[in-house]
């Protein structure tokens, strides 16, 4: 077991990611697809490049992710083309999938809180909110 706080956080994060990926796969969704659905729901005017940047992947990988979501009937595109806005929107099925994913996350949150106990979970959540960079921090770094 690592003694470094950073290494412990990385190990815990990886474990939680594996658990959530497994939970999401039961509803036919990956973590990357969930991220895309969430970003599209929040701002359908984003370009594929914008979506890719937010996910930390290449534009080509994001296009493949969106294509899978389109094949699932979760997303529809009104326009496409180099450098143009994607004009993506969630379908009714996409909205239902996003809502189901939110329920899956809520269940994972509860399971995690039960492992820690309510008091420790609350403290950890507060610490992580301070430690995790917010949008303003990310923008300052460039």
Which regions of the chain are under pLDDT 50?
A: 136-142
Distance in angstroms (rounded) separating the CA atoms of residues 22 and 11: 17
pLDDT in tens, 41-80: 999 888 899 999 999 999 999 999 999 999 999 999 876 5
**DSSP-assigned states of every residue in 101-123:** HHHHHHHHHHHHHHHH-HHHHHH
0.85 exceeded by pTM:
no
Confidence (pLDDT) at 70: 96
Distance in angstroms (rounded) separating the CA atoms of residues 29 and 66: 12
Say which CATH class 5-130 falls into.
Answer: mainly alpha
Confidence (pLDDT) at 78: 77
From the number of C-beta atoms within 10 Å of its C-beta (0-12, 13-18, 19+), residue 37 rates as: buried
How far CA 90 is from CA of 25, 41, 94, 116, in Å, comes to 19, 6, 5, 36
Distance in angstroms (rounded) separating the CA atoms of residues 77 and 89: 7
Q: Sketch the domain layout of the chain as residue ranges.
A: 5-130
How many CB atoms lie under 10 A from the CB of residue 124?
14
Average confidence score pLDDT of the chain: 88
């Amino acid at each position: 077991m690592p003694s470094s706080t950073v290494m412990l956080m990385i190990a815990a994060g990886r474990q939680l990611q594996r658990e959530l990926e497994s939970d999401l796969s039961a509803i036919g969704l990956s973590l990357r697809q969930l991220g895309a659905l969430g970003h599209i729901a929040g701002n359908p005017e984003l370009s594929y490049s914008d979506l890719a940047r937010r996910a930390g992947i290449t534009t080509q990988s994001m296009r493949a992710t969106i294509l899978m979501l389109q094949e699932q009937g979760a997303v529809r595109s009104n326009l496409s083309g180099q450098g143009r806005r994607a004009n993506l929107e969630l379908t009714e099925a996409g909205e239902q999938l996003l809502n189901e994913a939110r329920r899956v996350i809520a269940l994972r949150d509860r399971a995690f809180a039960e492992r820690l106990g309510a008091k420790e979970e609350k403290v950890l959540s507060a610490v992580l909110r301070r430690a995790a960079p917010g949008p303003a921090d990310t923008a300052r770094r460039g």
